[in-house]
Amino acid sequence: MNIIFMGTPDFAVDSLNSINKSSHNLCCVVTIPDKKVGRGQKIRKSAVKNHCISNGIKFLQPLHLNDKDFIDELKSFNADIFIVVAFKILPENIWTIPKKGTINIHASILPNLRGAAPINWAIIYGLKKTGLTSFFINNGIDTGDIIIQEEIDINENDTYEIIYQKLKKLSSTFILESIKAIEGGLKPKIQSKIKSEFLKAPKLDKENTRIKWNDTGNNIKNLIKGLSPYPGAWSIIKSNGIRVKIIDSEFIPKLINTNTNGSLLPNKKDCMIQVKNGVINVLKIKIEGKKEQSGRDFVNGYQGKEILFI
C-alpha cells in the first residue's frame, strides 16, 4: 500500500519505524513545525521529525493543515491510506483524500476513553485493562468505525509511564495488523453511540490533576499512578504555598487518625497523609523547583512542623 503517516511525539515513532521497514511504500511523513522553547528559545524538533532525519524519510511540516499547496502535495502522492498516530485533529478535506480512508491509532479500547489522555485516565479510573484501537477517522472525536483492537493488562503497580511504554511497543505490530485487515477487506465495526456506556478521557489540566485529600485512598493512589512521572499529581502546602508533586505512594487502609484530611501525621518517620479512609504513605515526592526525593527525606526537612496539604 502507498501510505502517508502523520504523527508528532515519541509514542508515534515505533509505528512509523514499523511501516518504514515493511513492504509498504511510505510516501512521506507529516509532522508539526519546529518550536522555540525555554528562555533561550532553542529550536525543538518533534520526535517523529528526528526519526525521519535519522532514517532518510521524506517529511512535511505544514504551518496550516488547510494550506492549498500542502493539500495539493498530499494528493500528488496518490496514497491508499493515511495513518495518524498522536497528531492534530484533521479537517475533512484531508482525511477524505486517500482511496481507502484515514485511520487513527488510539490508546484505549474504544468507545471507552475517547479524548486526549486515554492512558492516564485508564489508570486514574482504576481499570484492569486497556489497549489499542485502530479506526477510520470521521467528523467526530474518536468515534469512527473500528478496524481492530488489542488489549493489555494494567497491573496493580503500573504507572502512566509503564503503560505508555507497553502500548508504544505494541503499536509497532498493531499498525501492520491494522493495515493487513484493511487489505483483506475486513468490515469495520460501528462504535456504540450511547454515551452513558463509556468513560471519557479529557485533556489533563490543573484541576483534574490536583489531589483531593477528602477522596478515598484508592482513588488518590490511582490518580498518583496515572500521572506518574508526568505531569504529576499535585498539592500545596498550606503554610507556605509551596507546590509539590507526589510521584509514588501506597495506600494503607483503616489507619484512621482524627487529623484533618490532607494533614501529615505527626511523629512518623514516613510521609503519611490522612485521607478519607486511611493514609497515603508518600514514597517519592518533588517540591517545586527541586529534585525528586523520598517521602522520608521530605519529612526530615519539616521535622516538628504541622503540615496540611490542600
**Domain presence at residue 110:** yes
User: Do 114 and 13 share a structural domain?
Assistant: yes
pLDDT of residue 33: 97
User: Do 135 and 188 share a structural domain?
Assistant: yes
User: Do 168 and 263 share a structural domain?
Assistant: no
- Mean pLDDT for back-to-back runs of 10 residues, the chain (310 residues): 98 98 98 89 94 98 97 98 97 97 98 97 98 97 97 98 98 98 95 82 98 97 98 97 97 81 89 94 96 95 87
Domain finish residue from 197, 226, 249: 197
Grid coordinates belonging to 47? 520526535
Grid coordinates belonging to 231? 505531569
Full residue range of the structural domain in which residue 12 is found: 2-197
User: Do 222 and 183 share a structural domain?
Assistant: no
User: What is the 3 state secondary structure string of 160-192?
Assistant: HHHHHHHHHHHHHHHHHHHHHHHHCCCCCECCC
pLDDT of residue 266: 84
How many C-alpha atoms does 101 have within 13 Å on its Cβ side?
18
**Domain presence at residue 208:** no
pLDDT of residue 188: 95
**Domain presence at residue 310:** no
Domain finish residue from 130, 164, 197: 197
β-bridge mates for residue 37, sequence order: 42
User: Do 149 and 59 share a structural domain?
Assistant: yes
pLDDT of residue 275: 95
pLDDT of residue 196: 66
User: Do 175 and 49 share a structural domain?
Assistant: yes
**Domain presence at residue 209:** no
Preceding amide of 266 cis, omega within 30: no
pLDDT of residue 305: 82
User: Do 105 and 40 share a structural domain?
Assistant: yes
pLDDT of residue 38: 80
Give the other-Cβ count within 10 Å of 78's Cβ.
11
pLDDT of residue 302: 83
Give the other-Cβ count within 10 Å of 120's Cβ.
29
Grid coordinates belonging to 279? 493514609
CATH number, domain with residue 58? 3.40.50.170
Rounded CA separation 14/165 (Å): 10
Rounded CA separation 4/225 (Å): 35
User: Do 190 and 72 share a structural domain?
Assistant: yes
User: Do 262 and 180 share a structural domain?
Assistant: no
**Domain presence at residue 15:** yes
User: Do 230 and 174 share a structural domain?
Assistant: no
User: Do 150 and 232 share a structural domain?
Assistant: no
Rounded CA separation 152/139 (Å): 28
CATH number, domain with residue 278? 3.10.25.10
**Domain presence at residue 306:** no
Ranges of beta strands (E only) in the chain are: 2-7, 25-30, 35-37, 42-44, 59-60, 81-85, 102-106, 129-136, 146-153, 233-236, 243-253, 271-275, 278-287, 292-294
Rg (CA), the chain: 23
**Rounded to the nearest 5°, which phi and psi values hold at 197?**
-85, -15
pLDDT of residue 125: 98
pLDDT of residue 8: 97
Q: For the chain, how many structural domains are there in total?
A: 2
Grid coordinates belonging to 155? 497491573
Domain finish residue from 127, 162, 197: 197
User: Do 261 and 148 share a structural domain?
Assistant: no
